[in-house]
Chains A and B, each alone.
Chain A
Amino acid sequence: MSDPAAVLHDPTSETTSEIRPRRTPPADLAGKVVALQGIGKARSSEFLDHIEDRLNRRGIETIRTEKATNARTAPIDILQRIATEAHAVVQALAD
């Protein structure tokens, strides 16, 4: 970051960091719902279309979500939809 708005000094002890273990991936996708998340970059949809086709042909249900832009984090409604409606998520980095 070459031109920060401000430099702040860390008020913490700087001795610990929160480490959250990854959720264990499902053993298989049978009966599961997979969210296919486009992050707003070009050609995300091509990749996700391909993944979606392959999953659907195996009988795996999918939902599609799409960020408006890759320059911002996902809005809360998208995160909530993925968290409540899907068991796994594939994000398309694209380009």
Chain B
Amino acid sequence: MSATPRDPCRVSDGFVAVLKADCPTCRLIEPVLSRIEAEAALVVYTQDDPGFPSAVTDRIDDAALQHSFELDIETVPTLIRFEGGAEVDRTEGWSRSEWERVTGTEGLGSDLPEHRPGCGSKSVEPGAAEALRAKFGDTGIEARSVAVGPYADPIEACFDRGWTDGLPVVPPTPERVLRMLAGTPRAPDEAVGRIPPDLAECTVEKVAINAVLAGCRPEFMPLLLGIVEAALVPEFTLHAVTCSTCFSAPVIIVNGPIAARLGMNCGLNVLGPGNRANATIGRALNLLVRNVGGGRPGEIDRATFGSASKFTQCFAEDESDPDWEPLSVSRGIEPGVDAVTLFQGEGVQGFIDQKSRTPGELTRSLALSLFAVGHPRLCEWAYALLLLSPEHYAIYRDAGWGRGEITEALHDALHRPGSELVAGAGGVGEGIEDERAGESVPKFHADGLLIARAGGPAGLFSAILAGWPGGRAREDSHPITRRIIT
């Protein structure tokens, strides 16, 4: 969008006042303005009532706020003195001494109080700054501008251009992008990384535009930027996660105080809809993969089924129990530090056990379901994320078990005789190699089971998120945990 040429004032030598009729102080000083006009050139810009102030002849309707924006008005009334076409002095609100100093006129408003504060300019009302900058100023946004026809629906225009995941997106207008960029101190042109599959360079500005599309709030930006950077760690293998025929998609688990600050959900319906931060932050990452990275379903994204996680899957861990070691801490981050873990997940497998009452019973029961990750016969094949609900966790906690004990017991329970797992055993074609028939075979690598706490208070259920089979080569592909810099 080309900026309107700056022509803020037609007074070369004289005064400009910016007012609004809704401001009591502006109404109070009307006689003062009349006197100034009698002795010098005066132009009054009025923000809300073209007929105000009636005592002044040279009034200009500034309902569009262009002049207020270009004069950088924050308070009304503001009086500005110009000399040779340039501003040399200004004062805000009403202060007799200040107005006398700026005008060089003694005895102004002698029947008025000495001082009255002004009111906020309409040009700085919430949301106005970005809208006015988009309309009258230079946004500095480098992304290509697309003008949508006067009768077109911008949401449909986004669909037409292939910018959506199939759900409507928030149209990325300049003012929305500016507001989103205000959520981070990082420069819009700062490179965040190259997003696969196209390995296209992604800037902070592109992250902001896609965050707008996804419906994020500006304060989500620091977390989102950290998530994008984590997703671009080579070992996350985002290209393969995106393009795989499997069900895989980034699953985002947030730890630290930032989760509460952003209002993230770790409780009821934690893996479902209903929370803006959960829903939109995860969606923004997937839209970046689509729009910047070119990872579009049906094209290079060749998922046989895909999964709902390809829309969004982002949530916070429940850190309400101080005895529980959070996932991020178990993966090397200091306690109390904002962090994110990205897991290559394949959707949710419900685990229902309403009868186990001891840690041993529950562990053996969980192992039965964890064997099913990928396929019951496939071992050391993928990672898995186990989300313990409060009621299941309570069984462990009440017995004095923490993360270490739970993890060790689960790994022990997840070993089986290789003879039962080899391909062809029991008439099932799938399975491990024949040469492992004599081994006790673990389901997961030693680091292959991630455990976190989440979920609503009622329900003897837990959730298993199977990992992407690329995790079988865990040196090349594994979950990523990183600190979030806010």
**Are the C-beta atoms of A10 and B143 separated by less than 8 Å?**
yes
**Contact across chains for A9 and B148 when beta carbons are under 8 A apart:** no
Q: Is the CB of A8 within 8 A of B294?
A: no
Residues of A within 8 A of B143 (CB): 9-11, 14
Interface residues of A in 1-43 (CB under 8 A from B): 1, 3-16
Q: How far does the alpha carbon of A13 sit from the alpha carbon of B203 in the complex, in Å?
A: 9
**Residues A4 and B147 in contact in the complex (CB < 8 Å), given A11-B206, A13-B198:** yes
Residues B206-245 near A (CB distance < 8 A)? 206, 209-210, 213
Chain A residues with CB under 8 Å of B147's CB are 1, 4, 6-7
Tell me the interface secondary structure of chain B in the complex: mixed
Contact A11 B173 (CB under 8 A): no
> What count of chain B residues pass the 8 Å CB interface test?
36
Q: Which of A5, A7, A11, A16 contacts B213 (CB 8 A)?
A: A11
Choice from A3, A9, A15, A16 contacting B146 with Cβ under 8 Å? A9
B201 near A13: Cβ-Cβ < 8 Å: yes
The digit string for B136-159, where 1 denotes a CB below 8 A from any CB of A, is 000001011111111110100110
Q: Would you call B198 and A6 a contact (CB within 8 A)?
A: no
- Kindly state the separation between the CA atoms of A8 and B152 in the bound complex, as whole angstroms: 12
Tell me the chain B residues, 169-194 only, with Cβ under 8 Å from chain A.
171-174, 177
Q: Which residues of A contact B291 (CB under 8 A)?
A: 11-13
Q: Is the CB of B213 within 8 A of A6?
A: no
Q: Does B1 contact A (CB under 8 A)?
A: yes
Q: Are A4 and B149 in contact (CB under 8 A)?
A: yes
Q: Closest chain B residue to A9 by CB distance?
A: B143
- The CA of A30 and the CA of B406, in the complex, are separated in Å by 77
- With A3-B150, A4-B148 known as contacts, the answer to whether A9 contacts B209 (CB < 8 A) is yes
**With A1-B149, A11-B163, A15-B200 in contact, is A6–B292 under 8 Å at CB?**
no
* Chain A: minimal CB distance from B389 (Å): 37
Interface flags, A45-74, vs B, CB<8A=1, else 0: 000000000000000000000000000000
Q: For the complex, what is the distance from the CA of A47 to the CA of B196, rounded to whole Å?
A: 50
Given known contacts A1-B147, A7-B148, A13 and B172 CB-to-CB distance under 8 angstroms = no
Interface status of B287 (Cβ within 8 A of chain A): yes
Contacts of A15 in B (CB 8 A): 198, 200
The count of residues in chain A whose C-beta lies closer than 8 Å to any C-beta of chain B is 15
Contacts of B171 in A (CB 8 A): 6, 8
User: Given contacts A11-B163, A12-B291, A13-B292, is CB(A5)–CB(B172) below 8 Å?
Assistant: no
User: Given A13-B198, A13-B201, are A8 and B173 neighbors across the interface (CB < 8 Å)?
Assistant: yes
| Shortest Cβ distance from residue A67 to the other chain B in the assembled complex, whole angstroms | 19
- Contact present for A11 and B210 (CB under 8 Å): yes
B292 x A11 contact (CB < 8 A): yes
Nearest B residue to A3, CB-CB: B150
Say how far A12's CB is from chain B's closest CB, in angstroms. Answer: 5
Residues of A within 8 A of B151 (CB): 5
Of the candidates B145, B200, B210, the one whose C-beta lies within 8 Å of that of A7 is: B145
**In chain B, what residue has the closest Cβ to A1?**
B147
A1 to B1, CA, bound (A): 12
Contact A5 B177 (CB under 8 A): no
| Smallest CB separation, B7 vs chain A (Å) | 20
* Neighbouring B residues of A9 by C-beta, 8 Å: 141, 143-146, 172-174, 177, 209
Question: In the bound complex, do residue B201 and residue A8 qualify as a contact, i.e. CB atoms below 8 Å apart?
Answer: no
Q: Which residues of A contact B213 (CB under 8 A)?
A: 11
Residues of chain B contacted by A11 (CB below 8 angstroms):
143, 163, 172, 206, 209-210, 213, 287, 291-292
A71-86 near B? 1/0 per residue, CB < 8 Å:
0000000000000000
User: What would 8 A/B residue contacts be, using CB atoms closer than 8 Å?
Assistant: A3-B150, A5-B150, A8-B145, A9-B174, A10-B145, A10-B146, A13-B206, A15-B198
* 5 nearest A-B residue pairs (beta carbon): A13-B200, A4-B147, A10-B144, A9-B143, A11-B291
Given contacts A11-B172, A11-B291, 14 further A-B contacts (CB under 8 A): A1-B147, A3-B150, A4-B148, A4-B149, A5-B150, A6-B171, A7-B148, A9-B143, A9-B146, A10-B146, A11-B163, A11-B209, A13-B293, A15-B200
Interface residues of A (CB under 8 A from B): 1, 3-16
**B: which residues have CB within 8 A of A?**
1, 134, 141, 143-152, 154, 157-158, 163, 171-174, 177, 195, 198, 200-202, 206, 209-210, 213, 287, 291-294
